[in-house]
Amino acid sequence: MRLNDEEQALLAGAGGEALRQAIAHQVAVGEFFGAADLVPVTQAHVMADTESLGEAGVAWLEQLSAGPGAPPRVRVPTITDPRGTDFARAGELGQAEWMLALERRAIAAFQRLGVTMTDTCIHYQTIAAPTRGEHVAFGDTGVVSYSNSVCGARSNFEGGPSAVAAALTGRTPRYGYHLDEHRRATLRLRTDWTPGTLDEWGALGAVVGRQAGHYWQVPVLEGLERPPSSDELKHFAAAMASFGSTALFHLVGYTPEAGRLADVDGERLPLAARFGRDEVQALRRSWAGDGGVDVVVFSAPQLSLFELRTLAGLCEGRRFVRPLLAVTSPQVKPEADRLGFTAAIEDAGGSVLAGMCFYQSYAREIAEARGWRRLVTNSAKLVNILGGYGYAPVLRSMAACVDAAETGEVAQ
């Protein structure tokens, strides 16, 4: 890799051991992927939950932030993905004290490095959406898929150490989706149906993700009859990333790089698949079935203010017989409190949690502590993940999820 004078000096240790380790890591990653050089980034986003970090990851952060002399500080604005808990509601979830202690250690280490603890996977809706062509270093897969595709920014999936390294050095290896040649479409698909509800948008994303199948595939989708909203695209992108490792997609006529099919070289591709409502509903039915419900969860991604407004309206006049958890960001929660959305949800027996994500919060241990197995959600991403945590997840609309919390049963 070509390194400029500053980068060579950092690699030689001129900025201290932590920066030497950071840029050495980036050089190793860049050489593996064939990067020619490093590209400056304007912001970084780090996976911060301790279920992902583990004891070893937290110890590494502590070592990085507590070396001799002043700790290194991030060079670009750096924020965090959801934590593993909402400290104020940990008792409701059945989380053990050791989980909370590990969270506190991680937070302290991140703060010593100058990381801003935003604890969100929807910062493109709440803090600072990246702009077209902006090079960033983001970790959360749904964040990367949305930022690349909807915002037109440029990021690869950055693992935790890589995102921290980018924060400390202000650059990242120039490979993959930082390059024009990797942003052209490689898979042409068509839908004959446009979803209406968020769970349907997530299920459509799952269908597209399964068709794509791997990280380097860039699907271009034709046939949508209207522009999706931010929340619809959020569920679509998160599900596609979960089911297909998709980091970039194009929607003809709607996403910024694909005003026309030809803009992403899609016209040269044969039509690989055509699908519609039947295929999406078949996928939704694969997480179906009548029966009792243990818990209802809205999470993955965190809920926007508009989603909480809709949920609050559905909760009016209800009384839940099963737990209902609505997970949002620390930026949205105060507004939901101020506007009465939190009160409406919690008056019905629900709980509004902030700063966490359900599947990153020791979901298996929560299930064991609370006796939860049958979980109902409107997130296709969440149902795809939670089967591996011992749950029997069911995908339904937001309205059907609220019905299930009220009756204790999920209808077909």
Q: Do 140 and 36 fall within a single domain?
A: yes
State the virtual CA torsion across 44, 49, 54, 55 in degrees, nearest 10: 90
Classified as helix, coil or strand, 9 is helix
Q: Do 80 and 174 fall within a single domain?
A: yes
Q: At what angle do helices 17-33 and 160-169 cross, to 10 degrees?
A: 120
Q: What was the pLDDT predicted at 365? A: 94
The number of C-alpha atoms within 13 Å of 339 and in the hemisphere containing its C-beta is 14
Q: Do 170 and 86 fall within a single domain?
A: yes
Q: What was the pLDDT predicted at 70? A: 75
Range of the domain at 110: 5-180
Domain boundary among 233, 249, 284: 284
* Two structure tokens written together for 10: 């950092």
CATH code: domain of residue 352:
3.30.499.10
Q: What was the pLDDT predicted at 289? A: 67
Q: Do 27 and 156 fall within a single domain?
A: yes
At which residue do the structure tokens 């009792």 appear?
A: 292
Q: What was the pLDDT predicted at 68? A: 65
pLDDT tens per residue, range 85-125: 999 999 889 999 999 999 999 999 999 999 999 999 999 99
Q: How far apart are CA 314 and CA 403, in angstroms?
A: 9
Q: Do 167 and 220 fall within a single domain?
A: no
At which residue do the structure tokens 């002399």 appear?
A: 69
* Two structure tokens written together for 353: 């949690």
Q: How far apart are CA 21 and CA 274, in angstroms?
A: 48
Q: How far apart are CA 282 and CA 284, in angstroms?
A: 5
Q: How far apart are CA 348 and CA 326, in angstroms?
A: 12
220 backbone φψ class: left, alpha, beta (φ>0; ψ -120 to 50): beta
Question: pTM, whole model, 2 decimals?
Answer: 0.96
DSSP 151: I
Q: At what angle do helices 198-212 and 230-244 cross, to 10 degrees?
A: 30
Q: How far apart are CA 145 and CA 9, in angstroms?
A: 34
Q: What was the pLDDT predicted at 286? A: 86
CATH code: domain of residue 267:
3.40.50
| β-pair partners for 351 | 325
Regions of the chain where pLDDT drops below 70: 67-69, 289, 412
DSSP 135: B
Q: How far apart are CA 151 and CA 390, in angstroms?
A: 35
Q: Do 322 and 372 fall within a single domain?
A: yes
| β-pair partners for 296 | 324, 376
Q: How far apart are CA 381 and CA 402, in angstroms?
A: 19
DSSP 228: P
Asked if residue 151 lies in contact with residue 128, where contact means CB atoms within 8 angstroms, the answer is no
Handedness of CA 123, 126, 131, 134 (dihedral sign): negative
Q: Do 188 and 271 fall within a single domain?
A: yes
| β-pair partners for 356 | 83
Number of residues that this document lists for the chain: 412
Domain boundary among 121, 154, 180: 180
Q: How far apart are CA 95 and CA 154, in angstroms?
A: 37
Q: Do 316 and 251 fall within a single domain?
A: no
Q: At 167, which amino acid appears?
A: A
Cis bond before residue 301 (omega within 30° of 0) = yes
Q: Do 227 and 353 fall within a single domain?
A: no
Pairing mode, strands 78-80 and 44-46: parallel
Q: Do 312 and 249 fall within a single domain?
A: no
Q: What was the pLDDT predicted at 291? A: 84
Q: Do 213 and 156 fall within a single domain?
A: no
Domain boundary among 252, 284, 316: 284
Q: Do 397 and 261 fall within a single domain?
A: no
Pairing mode, strands 78-80 and 137-138: unpaired
Which of 408, 372, 375, 378 lies closest to 392, judged by CA? 375
Asked if residue 59 lies in contact with residue 67, where contact means CB atoms within 8 angstroms, the answer is no
Q: How far apart are CA 40 and CA 241, in angstroms?
A: 25
What total of structural domains would you count in the chain?
3
Distance of CA 198 to the CA centre of its chain: 16
Strands (E), 225-333: 250-251, 271-275, 291-292, 295-303, 324-328
